[in-house]
Chains A and B, each alone.
Chain A
Amino acid sequence: MKKKFNLFHPQYAARSWFVLFNTIFFILLMAVMIIPIYKIFCDSMVNQTVYGLNLLPRGLDPETNEIAWFNVIAYKRIITDPALYHPFWVSVYTTLLTTFLGLLISTLGAYVLIQRDMPGVKLFGYLLLFTMIFNGGLIPTFLVMKRVGLLDSIWAVIVPTSMNVYNLVLMRSFFEGIPASLFEAAEIDGCTPMGIFIKIVLPLSKAALASIGLFFAVAAWSEYFHYVIYIKSSDKYNFQYKLRDLFQDKQDASEGTKINVNTLKSAAVIVSVVPFMFIYPFCQKYFMTGVTMGAVKE
């Protein structure tokens, strides 16, 4: 491959111009992707009513009348106000629970589905697939939740999120890649099905567990609508719900306090984004494993 970069050499010019424009294009595209988040980050550090074009995390502090860098007053409010930090903990533990339960259901289901000689396994597969194309709908599901007594319980949010047929099928396709000879050998050694599952299947599927586990974690962290319909008590709201509440409430959340309402909103957005911002660069390859795994299936 020719890799010389020269805008005016006749042999390389066309390619070089393309590389130049491609680079500029992606720099701009990255800016478009990042600026909205970056702007919110800056605004969360500026406790004043004017924002406009300011793209630095600093602003005039109305208290001291001085330019202040990294004014974290809104963050202080979030970590000291129980109405704001409690939902964060709800988010954390529902995410952990959903991820655990989701992986449990997906691996168990997938492990059973790869038993080709098992009577009824096809039925199980079809039963799972059918839920992907048809469901009872909002109200009937609500009424079932009511019947089983899960209304206003975080399990009403956790359990349906944990049962994700798409992830289960993904897991199955991963398990199918495990050589059958391993199962046979273990069986001859006298391993029980559960023993094979724990000693062979799970250790060989670490990448799939990480990848699908992250899918569950993202879904659980982002969960909002289930809280709207199933959760009534304010101590069970998660952070997404609280964030949305800040934006919708006609009463000014910051009225009376010294924090500008937009600063508070911006800080809340950043707080809800931060956990995944931290783990995302380290886990990117697992996310991509999951997607390409699905793509191959399709």
Chain B
Amino acid sequence: MKKNVLKRVSALGLSMVMVAGLAGCNGSGDSAEIDLEYGDPDDKPDEISMMVDTTITEENGLQAVCDEYEKQTGIKLTFEKPDHAKYYEKVTLSFASEEPADIIEMGSTYYPELANSGALWDMTEAWEKSKEQAAQGAQGVNCVNIIDEDYIDALRINGELYGFPMAAGNGTITYVRQDWLDAAGLQAPKNYDEFINMLRAFKSRGGGAIPITAAGLLNTETPYDIYLREFYQDAVPDIYKDKTTGKYVDGFGEPACLVCNYLGIDAYQEGLIDAEIVTNKTSTCRDKLGSGLVGAFNYWAGMWSLKLQRSMNEGQLVAIPPIEEANGYTERVPTALAMSVYAPKKAAIFKYFLLYSHDGGEGQMLFTHGVKDIHYKYNPDGSCEALPYIVDPDNKVEKSMFAPELTITEWNDPIPLDPMVKESLEIYRQHRTFATVPVVNDTISQNLADLNVVRNVVVANAVTGKQTVDEAMQYYEEKGGYYANAILDDLNSEANLAAEAEAEAKAKSSSSEDTADDAAGAADEAE
């Protein structure tokens, strides 16, 4: 009895599927209803869960921070801290499993995407109501009085707020060796000619001197042009809306052609930019800086000014204002603390967690510096200082969750900032422009990651001279054209342009004039 076993196996298998399908479970909604209502801000929840990435580690006492929070507020705080490399996979998977934490730390790439998916609670109303309460002198909303509202606005998407800033987004600034400037008899450069002039002077020192370096050409997330803004000037390495035509243009493709306008190509080929700019990592740059090879270094403002200075054996590093043509330094969209739509008692979480952690007092101290006598201590003379890490006694605690130097509130931090950090931040903040939350839709999320891979290769090849500008453009068309066209077709579809115009009009009419101006201003800058 010879039979076609395969056929029988398949037939049986498939019929099993059918049977199971008929008997099956088609309904999708056995989960609890979501409560999107604003609710009572003083109806405290028993427990808040958070998912975090950049905070102090578990081994260094994250649990102690949570325990202290419970002591202060009576609310139990639990945390999940997945591994950094797969953080966003874990975030989206936790939403797919419908069991996300109540509060989720979210960088600017995923924040708009998840907001777009309806995964994040719109906290605009909660924010507005808190402002009203503060005006009436209510307790527990001090945050509203001391916060810099620019950071709130930086997180708005079409006027709606889906996350609360954790700390300033910060950006990069150009650091220059003061002793090298002095030796060349130069002042800090004010425009591109002086800038190039300075780099040439640095190069002429010889001995393998690297006039300027950075930890990469294109940043891996928006804003892509945060490193070495001096060489971008008006070129935009991203898709942007052309103001004259009102249509979206790819800064890389025709006619904008980033590589045609990117000044870094000539500078690199003249030997003014670090030869290893493409493969540089922070550690490599630091090593080169430490061995006294680097004249100028474009890197994050703030804490890094100190770290960089410390890694040098000789010489003095100063932060300089941007050159005229650079259009200022860019401030990233702040890292957001978003609230999941599944969270219970949202208004109360907003008040007791988000506002409380920026309250300028006990709460802010806990979320900035950690727990007294574990992460910081008061000396007998009344001064306050950070303690060493639990598992790493050679270094002192920098932050528990929010970086102190990037605070977004006006408060009296008992641990004073280092003057160098302060100075670089001051220069940076005078000249920064806020980036806006990147536009996100389905087509963009499908294609952008792949497109960025091609973009990185194109810039790297054009700059290092592996390909001529024409070859690089051809390569871009070939490998990236598919993705870029998909995004542009979608953004430039009439439906999308119309919807955008509508949303813009709505945002303008609903929010106060002030905010609208700021948002538009910031948008202009980003484009």
Contacts and interface: CB of A to CB of B under 8 A. Distances in A.
Partners in one complex: yes
A36 interface: no
Given A129-B9, A228-B89, A234 B97 contact: no
Given A83-B58, A134-B13, A126 B85 contact: no
Nearest to A228: B86
A29 to B, nearest CB: 34
B94 interface: yes
Interface residues of A, number: 32
Interface stretch (B129-137, B375-383, B391-399): B391-399
A233 B80 contact: yes
A61 interface: no
A252 B16 CA distance: 51
A229 interface: yes
B9 A256 contact: no
Contacts of A241: 83
A245 interface: yes
B85 A248 contact: yes
Given A127-B16, A130-B13, A133-B9, A232 B93 contact: yes
Contacts of A229: 93
Interface string B57-89: 111000000000000000000001111111001
Nearest to B394: A256
Nearest to A123: B12
Contacts of B283: 252
A134 B16 CA distance: 13
Interface string A110-127: 000000000000010011
Contacts of A142: 96
B479 interface: no
Contact of A146 (B9, B97, B391): B97
A232 B395 contact: no
Contacts of A252: 283
A256 B80 contact: no
Contacts of A2: none
Interface in A46-78: none
Nearest to A147: B25
Interface in B2-17: 8-10, 12-13, 16
Contacts of A81: 59, 391
A130 B85 contact: no
B8 A126 contact: yes
B438 to A, nearest CB: 21
A232 B83 contact: no
Contacts of A127: 12-13, 16
B12 A130 contact: yes
Given A81-B59, A81-B391, A234-B58, A251 B84 contact: yes
A146 B98 CA distance: 9
Interface string A247-277: 0111110001110000000000000000000
A250 B84 contact: yes
B180 interface: no
B389 interface: yes
A185 B511 CA distance: 88
A81 B99 CA distance: 29
A146 B85 contact: no
A160 interface: no
B431 interface: no
B82 A126 contact: no
A151 B391 contact: no
Contact of B83 (A82, A123, A146, A249): A249
B85 A245 contact: yes
Given A134-B10, A245-B85, A249-B85, 12 more contacts: A81-B59, A83-B57, A83-B59, A130-B12, A133-B9, A134-B13, A151-B99, A228-B89, A232-B82, A232-B94, A256-B389, A256-B395
20 contacts: A81-B59, A123-B12, A126-B9, A127-B12, A127-B13, A130-B9, A130-B12, A130-B13, A130-B16, A151-B97, A229-B93, A232-B94, A234-B80, A237-B83, A248-B83, A248-B85, A249-B83, A249-B84, A250-B85, A251-B84
